[in-house]
Amino acid sequence: MDAKITDSSSKEISLTITKSDIGTLYIVQHELLKEPGVEFAGVIMKHPLTKEYWMRVNTSKGSPLKEIEKATKTAIEYANELKKLVNSKIKGA
């Protein structure tokens, strides 16, 4: 995944993301929207053939970039837990 900041202020950040999957970005968006300081988190596909996505995050308090980092870490932790669970079930079968 490659991400580039296209616009940034103290309460809003816009990113252009390539080499990713929209499903992954939806998971990060879901985690962002759980945070009380996040007012908006949106992801769109610019065009299906280019696989370029845009993400925008608005916060009422705190840094939007830090909120993205926190949401991403949480999503990775959940994915690792799921991987361990699936692997344990496969080995036990």
User: Domain range for residue 85?
Assistant: 2-92
The reported pLDDT for the residue numbered 76 is 93
The reported pLDDT for the residue numbered 93 is 66
Sheet holding 38-47, edge to edge: 2-8, 12-18, 52-59, 38-47
| Burial group, residue 64, by CB count within 10 angstroms (0-12, 13-18, 19+) | buried
How many separate domains does the chain show? 1
Q: Which tens digit of pLDDT belongs to each residue from 33-80?
A: 999 999 999 999 998 888 899 999 999 989 999 999 999 999 999 989
Find the CATH number of the domain harbouring 42. 3.30.1360.10
Tell me if the pTM is above 0.95.
no
Tokens describing residue 19: 């080499």
Kindly tell me if the per-residue pLDDT of 92 is higher than 80: no
